[in-house]
Structure 1
Amino acid sequence: MGMSGAYGHTDDDESVRTIHAYLDAGGTLLDTGDFYAAGHNELLVGRALRERSRDDAVLSVKFGELLTPAGMPAGIKDARPEAVRNFLTYSLRRLGTDHVDIYRPARLDPQVPIEDTIGAIAELVEQGYVRHIGLSEVGSDTIRRAAAVAPISDLQIEYSLFSREIEDDVLAVCRELGIGITAYGVLAKGLIGGSGATGGALPMMPRFRPGNREHNDALVADLAEIAEAKHATLAQVAIAWVAAQGDDIVPVIGSRRPGQIETMIASTAVTLDREDLARIDELIPKGAAKGGRYPEQHMPDRGGEG
């Protein structure tokens, strides 16, 4: 998403070089959405993969978020079975492939039972257009209902030192059902060890607003002692913390430049033991961050599940 202007200006050529650097370093997971800049991101990923073997990448695609002509979220989700098939048709064309590896509704459509949506994707699995079914930003009840229809590979959801809500019940339900977690927002949109850029959509995010931003920056500064002891950057510690929460959790990092790939890959060498994790919990306890993940009107709709 970050390669398609969500957080400020980007360069397509540099983005392609970044994807290639990631694949060259042994990375495989490429996460996109058909609504990221109204299809721009899928076209970009498709361009990057034209020079590579399709088998080099695991393509995870989200769908269902409708946009206005200005490219802003319309506040409407569409996960009807006929829409699922239509969205995938366009995604396959933009990506230049005959299948996606993981297909998932981006948000819960309150007008469509999750069973209907998952059933439609399951048919696409049978037809060979989709390999696995994923979920995104849903609660425990929806997860159970979806898993009763077809196997679910993973739940994509925000998880970081600043966003730990899944620890309340969602994480336990996923583990009970054998569903992995694809954790996004690991660097809290750049607040934790990132650029902290103020371009694109970031100024509207509550955690970047005056008062909240200063409080959150102070929390991050406290991590410096851990990073220094590990000879790591703040970002690497934040990534390592998420990875340390379980082998079933995969952090997704929104790198936008080739140089960031090296830093991201190096985070796998950062080891946090029990003492480190306990100290981090002291420095940034659950719920310590000020401000919500998104503006209230854009918060994920989980059908009242929390």
Structure 2
Amino acid sequence: MKHIRLGELDVARIGLGAMTMTGVYGTQDLDEAESIRTIHRALDLGVTLVDTAEVYGPYTNEELVGRAVKDRRDQVVVATKFGMISHSGRDTLDSSPASVRAAVEGSLTRLGIDHIDLCYQHRVDPATPIEDTVATLAELVSEGKIRHIGLSEAGPDTIRRAHAVHPVTAVQSEYSLWTRNPETEVLPVLRELGIGFVPYSPLGHGFLTGTIRSLDDFDDAWRRNNPRFTAENFQQNLRILDEVQAIATQADATAAQVAIAWLLAQGDDIAPIPGTKRVSRLEENLAADRLHLTDEQLKRLGNLTPAAGDTHNEAGLRTLER
């Protein structure tokens, strides 16, 4: 698989998001053995970046990833995230220095590793200056407990302020054919500063795989409460999928592969992390590394109108910095 650089960190240009392995989209078909096989197969096929977070589960996702990479640590860039579970008694986002330290120690224990390769602030904490959070992360870098610092869903000003304290290696935000928000302000700042970009949900929470054509095709609470999956917006958003599938037919590929290949074509500083818990889906996603879309196909995809509806429900939107 082709490699890129996120700041000073070398990674394969398609990573693996582990979030769904512990039930964000429902628990009815969870299979830990298959999830671990999926992580192992990813490493066999050249994936290096595996993404988790303390809040996934909570905590159980890191434990699963830790079991999977136990004997293959030298092959994996382990990324995890802190700040959405309070470690100091607060019921809100918490990236205070004490909470950051507690979170990192907990993640190291659950993952069974002696350092985190890429440690993200999961969401910006409005109650803690970003300078204080990043200064603590910089101390943890000096102590050898983390190697690289990342931010998730941070706005341009926060990115600049954080990077002024310690180099930020990567920023993670939702980005796909149906979520184009980072293009106007975030990506230009990242490229100015030499920071890599890690798109999460590059397949639109499964929508861009082409397997969801009806509201009856999913029953998990997360998507049921997401504005883009409500009846009116869902029907509008099928138009995006129809265009993606038309290009997939032309390219002798799947809709998922087209969606990922489009992202890869947006720059050599972008490493999407499509999530899956099945080997078959993993292999399908990684085949996008070999898919070449024509200039005309890229233009058609780039001209698509982004999805109708907000990316998150009201509670989720309040955690995003814009």
TM-score clears 0.5: yes
Q: Distance in 1 between matches of 2:74 and 2:283?
A: 22
User: Residue 175 and residue 155 in structure 1: after superposition, are their counterparts in 2 closer, same or farther (change >3 A)?
Assistant: same
Residues 159-238 of structure 1: pairs in structure 2 closer than 5 A:
159-193=175-209, 195-196=211-212, 197-238=218-259
User: Residue 62 and residue 42 in structure 1: after superposition, are their counterparts in 2 closer, same or farther (change >3 A)?
Assistant: same
Q: Distance in 1 between matches of 2:219 and 2:259?
A: 20
User: Residue 157 and residue 94 in structure 1: after superposition, are their counterparts in 2 closer, same or farther (change >3 A)?
Assistant: same
Report what 1:279 is aligned to. 300
Which amino acid is 1:142 matched to? Answer: T
Q: Distance in 2 between matches of 1:75 and 1:293?
A: 23
* 1:274 Cα deviation after fit: 2.2
Answering whether residue 272 of structure 2 is matched by residue 251 of structure 1, we say yes
Q: Which moved more, 1:144-153 or 1:194-203?
A: 194-203
Q: Distance in 2 between matches of 1:189 and 1:247?
A: 24
Instruction: Extract unaligned runs of 5+ from structure 1.
Output: 68-73
Q: Secondary structure of 1:59's match?
A: strand
The partner residue of 1:140 within 137, 152, 156 is: 156
Answering whether residue 322 of structure 2 is matched by residue 301 of structure 1, we say no
* 1:300 Cα deviation after fit: 5.2
Q: Distance in 1 between matches of 2:78 and 2:302?
A: 34
Answering whether residue 126 of structure 2 is matched by residue 107 of structure 1, we say no
Q: Secondary structure of 1:245's match?
A: coil
Percentage identity across aligned positions? Answer: 44
Residues 80-119 of structure 1: pairs in structure 2 closer than 5 A:
80-119=96-135
Query: Is residue 137–residue 300 contact of structure 1 (8 Å, CA) maintained in 2?
Result: no
Cα deviation code 1:223-269 (max 9, x no counterpart) = 22211111100000000011110000111110110111210111111
TM-score (norm 1): 0.93
Answering whether residue 41 of structure 2 is matched by residue 25 of structure 1, we say no
Q: Distance in 1 between matches of 2:282 and 2:320?
A: 33
Q: Secondary structure of 1:189's match?
A: coil
Query: Is residue 187–residue 194 contact of structure 1 (8 Å, CA) maintained in 2?
Result: no
User: Residue 300 and residue 273 in structure 1: after superposition, are their counterparts in 2 closer, same or farther (change >3 A)?
Assistant: farther
- Aligned CA-pair RMSD: 1.5
Query: Is residue 210–residue 241 contact of structure 2 (8 Å, CA) maintained in 1?
Result: no
The partner residue of 2:62 within 32, 42, 52 is: 42
User: Residue 23 and residue 235 in structure 1: after superposition, are their counterparts in 2 closer, same or farther (change >3 A)?
Assistant: same
Query: Is residue 53–residue 61 contact of structure 2 (8 Å, CA) maintained in 1?
Result: yes
Report what 1:70 is aligned to. none
* 1:58 Cα deviation after fit: 0.4
Number of residue pairs aligned between Structure 1 and Structure 2: 294
Query: Is residue 98–residue 129 contact of structure 1 (8 Å, CA) maintained in 2?
Result: yes
Which amino acid is 1:101 matched to? Answer: D
Which amino acid is 2:109 matched to? Answer: R
* 1:49 Cα deviation after fit: 1.4
Q: Distance in 2 between matches of 1:300 and 1:27?
A: 33
Q: Secondary structure of 1:241's match?
A: helix
Instruction: Extract unaligned runs of 5+ from structure 2.
Output: 1-18, 213-217
* 1:28 Cα deviation after fit: 0.9
Which amino acid is 2:39 matched to? Answer: I
Report what 1:239 is aligned to. 260
Query: Is residue 223–residue 234 contact of structure 1 (8 Å, CA) maintained in 2?
Result: yes
Report what 2:308 is aligned to. 290
Q: Distance in 2 between matches of 1:103 and 1:180?
A: 14
Q: Which moved more, 1:96-105 or 1:194-203?
A: 194-203
TM-score (norm 2): 0.88
Which amino acid is 2:241 matched to? Answer: V
The partner residue of 2:167 within 134, 146, 151 is: 151
Q: Secondary structure of 1:102's match?
A: strand
Which amino acid is 1:223 matched to? Answer: V
Q: Distance in 1 between matches of 2:186 and 2:91?
A: 24
Q: Secondary structure of 1:192's match?
A: helix
User: Residue 273 and residue 230 in structure 1: after superposition, are their counterparts in 2 closer, same or farther (change >3 A)?
Assistant: same
Q: Distance in 2 between matches of 1:84 and 1:34?
A: 12
Query: Is residue 178–residue 240 contact of structure 2 (8 Å, CA) maintained in 1?
Result: no
